[in-house]
Amino acid sequence: MKLASVISGQLANFFQRRGEVKPNELIKALEREVSKQKTKENFVPNSYVIYLCEEDCHRLSAARLIKSLHEAVERKVIRENCFMEGVLSVKIKKMTADENAIVIVSSYVDESDQEEDTINLENEVLSQTLIESTDASNDDKTIIADKTTIVATMRTATPRKVEYNLAILTDYKTSELVFGERQIYLGRKTTNDFVIDDESASRIHAYVAYERHRHVLYDAGSLNGTFVNKKPISRHELKDGDKILIGRTTLTYKVL
Q: What is the pLDDT of residue 79?
A: 95
Residue 50 phi/psi, 5-degree rounding, is -100, 120
Q: What is the pLDDT of residue 153?
A: 58
> Does residue 130 carry a pLDDT above 80?
no
Higher pLDDT, 241 or 150: 241
Look over the chain and give the mean of its residue pLDDT values, rounded to a whole number.
Answer: 81
Q: What are the tens digits of pLDDT across the range 131-149?
A: 444 455 555 555 556 556 6
> Does residue 188 carry a pLDDT above 80?
yes
Q: What is the pLDDT of residue 8?
A: 41
Distance of CA 221 to the CA centre of its chain: 31
Q: How confident is the model at residue 22 (pLDDT cuts 50, 70, 90)?
A: confident
Q: What is the pLDDT of residue 160?
A: 60
What are the Cα distances from residue 102, in Å, to 17, 106, 183, 185?
8, 13, 35, 41
Q: What are the tens digits of pLDDT across the range 54-102?
A: 888 888 888 899 999 999 999 999 999 999 999 999 999 988 766 667 8
State the Cα–Cα distance between residues 208 and 219, nearest whole angstrom: 9
- pTM assigned to the model: 0.75
State the Cα–Cα distance between residues 176 and 179, nearest whole angstrom: 10
Q: What is the pLDDT of residue 150?
A: 56
